Amino acid sequence: MPAAPAKTKARSGAPGRPKDLSKGAAILEAAKKLFVEQGYEGVSMDQIAAEAGVSKLTVYSHFGDKETLFGEAAKAHCQQGLPDALFGDCGDMPLRDCLMQIGSAFMAMVMAPEAVAGHRILCTPQMAASPVPRMFWEAGPKRVQQMFADLLERHVARGELQVDDPARASSQFFVLLKGDVHAREVFGCQASQCDVRGHVQASVDMFLRAYGKR
């Protein structure tokens, strides 16, 4: 099995020195672009610095090492596609519409070309032997599942759902959504937008049949 990718030694900035948020954002955008185009192993911190228009020292000052930067890029992608506000109070929106909104946003995020490319990167032997997949899990899917579980608990308290284990139900919801549609996309068999919309609707309806208040 190929050796795990070497972890670049972290370097820290000056203690207490404020970070330039615009430079941090530029570094994240550069990292997302290059990781998708060239894979994790094919990208160096020098390339990311050049793409972002900053010095390599600035990249290290903001993110420490390449593994951390990859994890933060994945987290930024997830937060952009599924912002915290999406899991807030649904207000007067019917529960099904609320779940449809979350499900549609989730599928749009995971089916995006850069997300599919990132998924393929994480499935390589080099990545499987590194801490990067765990970092991605905690930055992305784990965060999303926890916020959705919290949303489920609120709707259980309102009497709209009957869920004994919100964490398990949350995991099941996103597994239902991915189904074979995401797998086919990863394998290069692209699904139509119509197929994806119908799949989200069917997944939400199945979830509500399982957990809707009887």
Dump pLDDT digits (tens) for 49-80. Answer: 999 999 999 999 999 999 889 888 888 888 88
Total domain count, the chain: 2
pLDDT at 8: 44
Collect all residues with Cβ–Cβ distance below 8 Å to 109 and sequence separation of at least 6. Answer: 77, 78, 80, 81, 82, 115
In a domain, 1, yes or no: no
Range of the domain at 12: 7-80
Question: Which tokens is 151 given?
Answer: 């949303």
Last residue of a domain, one of 80, 110, 134: 80
Structure-derived torsion over alpha carbons of residues 210, 81, 50, 37, reported in degrees to the nearest 10:
50
Judged by phi (left if over 0) then psi (alpha if -120 to 50, else beta), residue 140 lies in alpha
Span of 26-40, 93-107, 162-176 with lowest mean pLDDT: 26-40
65 lies in the same domain as 101: no
- Residue 76 in contact with residue 32, Cβ under 8 Å? yes
68 lies in the same domain as 121: no
The structure's pTM equals 0.79
- Residue 170 in contact with residue 163, Cβ under 8 Å? no
pLDDT at 3: 44
